Amino acid sequence: MADTRESQKTAVTVQAVVQTESAEAENAGLRWYQGVPRYAWIVLIVAALGWLFDTMDQNIFTLVRQSAVTALIPAGADATKAGALMTTLFLLGWASGGFLFGILGDRLGRTRTMILTILIYATFTGLSGAAQNLWQFGLLRFLTALGVGGEWAAGAAIVAEVFPQRSRAMALGMLQALSAIGNMMAALVTLALANPAVGPSGWRWAFAVGALPALLVLWIRRAVREPERWERAKAEAAQSPGNKELGAIGQLFSDPTLRRNTLAAVLMATAGVGGLWGVGFWTPELTKIALAPLHLDPVKVSQYKSLVFLVQQTGAFFGIYAYAAFSESTNRRRALFLFFLLSFLAIQGMFWTANSFVSLMLWAPVLGFCTLGPFSAYTVYFPELYPTRLRATGCGFCYNCARVLAAAAPFALGQLARHFDDPARPDFGFRMATSLVACIYIVGFIGLSFAPETKGQPLPE
């Protein structure tokens, strides 16, 4: 009886997929946003909100990192080194969460995994504001990052599987572009709460706001079901559990094609993650260094940090969407090559020449446009590299394996800054360090050299 029910379920799912493919053929002449089912838009909104709040919580940390560390370390300790250590712990937690929840995204389902990861990152972000010492703070940031690392793969997989093929890339680009709104929200939260005018505990209140996304779970439970592609893969795995096993991470390396895709994707992701978290998200520290000769009031400096980060994320929104559009007009690999090159050049330009508030505000959107653009590639491109049974596993592994490899980047930044420290020019060590860490984009070019092209191809089954 159970086998009969399973066969019926599989038949219904196959029929639904066939109907979907027929609908795509009929709508082939429409623009990407036309003829898309209403439910697909609901899924995109829910997934985008989950990722938007995810990035908000990430960058509340980025913007209050030094304030929190300074409040929690002993007097006289090196705040830059401690901040780099907290960032490294965060990236390692992010990677661990990506590995774990990527597998669970295939085994438990996309929707269940989104719910679980949102609860984790929201809860532990809120608790980060209650830390009483640096090690408590580091542990809470690590636990927050478990959820942060896991949410993206589930959200990207479900959007890729629900949208029609002709609309998939632009929908995924929109999903990733809205993450920049989360970054902007982080800037606004810290501008309002985490500044000296609020008091020394302002950074704690900023983290408290980061707990609010947990309420999104209530909507997800009611509005989103598992995608038909995943239900089909689950049914096939039950009938032939060998090569069809869901979330079998070993198959990323045992299959020659998937092994090539995985190695290429890890290298491409390492470049973007290392460039962004090793350099791009250190604009608050650059702002402080650039404005130091002006001897500004701490309240003003805090406000300027948030404003620079805000316009940086405005540029990021357009850069992320630009990658999706350019990858559709050319192809995935060519677009990513261009953005890696632009990212390297933008880092050199901003971190060597920005020495006033005006120049910071001019360079920041350029930096955001270039360094966040590759992250659209990871959302658009990576789901196209893996079959349904391994889509969340593969995306989570590649994106977050890069977290492990790139976790040394912020630590290297601190070490290099001290190595090149010049008492005659206090900003030289930091600027030279950022310039050298940006060379990580070479790793991305290597990955691109043997990555496959997937533009215009259906998602692998």
Residue 453 tokens, joined: 């092209």
Q: Which domains does the chain have, with CATH numbers?
A: 37-225+250-450 (1.20.1250.20)
Residues 76-96, mean pLDDT to the nearest whole number: 82
Model confidence band, residue 26 (pLDDT cutoffs 50, 70, 90):
low
Residues 303-314, mean pLDDT to the nearest whole number: 87
Q: Which residue type does 387 have? A: P
Is the pLDDT at 315 greater than 90? The verdict is yes
**pLDDT at position 242:** 61
Give the CA radius of gyration of the chain: 22
Query: pLDDT, tens digit, for every residue of 318-363?
Result: 999 999 999 999 999 999 999 999 999 999 999 999 888 899 999 9
**pLDDT at position 243:** 67
Predicted TM-score (pTM) above 0.75: yes
Find out whether 315 and 364 touch, Cβ atoms under 8 Å. Answer: yes
- DSSP class of residue 460 equals P
Please name which of 208, 210, 371 lies closest in space to residue 283, comparing C-alpha atoms.
Answer: 371
Query: pLDDT, tens digit, for every residue of 402-419?
Result: 878 877 777 778 778 777
Query: pLDDT, tens digit, for every residue of 164-174?
Result: 988 999 999 99
Is the pLDDT at 313 greater than 90? The verdict is no
Give strand pairing partners of 425. Answer: 422
**pLDDT at position 27:** 59
- DSSP class of residue 425 equals B
**pLDDT at position 117:** 93
Please name which of 455, 158, 440 lies closest in space to residue 323, comparing C-alpha atoms.
Answer: 455
- DSSP class of residue 201 equals T
Find out whether 104 and 157 touch, Cβ atoms under 8 Å. Answer: no
Residue 63: its H or E element: helix 38-72
For the chain, give the mean pLDDT: 85
CA–CA dist 404, 238 (Å, integer): 33
CA–CA dist 60, 376 (Å, integer): 21
**pLDDT at position 194:** 67
CA–CA dist 46, 186 (Å, integer): 19
Query: pLDDT, tens digit, for every residue of 257-305?
Result: 999 999 999 999 999 988 987 888 778 888 888 888 888 887 788 788 8
Query: pLDDT, tens digit, for every residue of 27-54?
Result: 557 888 888 999 999 999 999 999 899 9
Query: pLDDT, tens digit, for every residue of 226-246?
Result: 989 888 888 888 877 666 788
Q: Which residue type does 142 have? A: F
Burial of 159-168, coded b for 16+ CB within 10 Å and e otherwise, reads bbbbbbbbbb
CA–CA dist 188, 310 (Å, integer): 8
CB atoms within 10 A of CB 259: 13
Residue 342 tokens, joined: 């632009």
**pLDDT at position 22:** 52
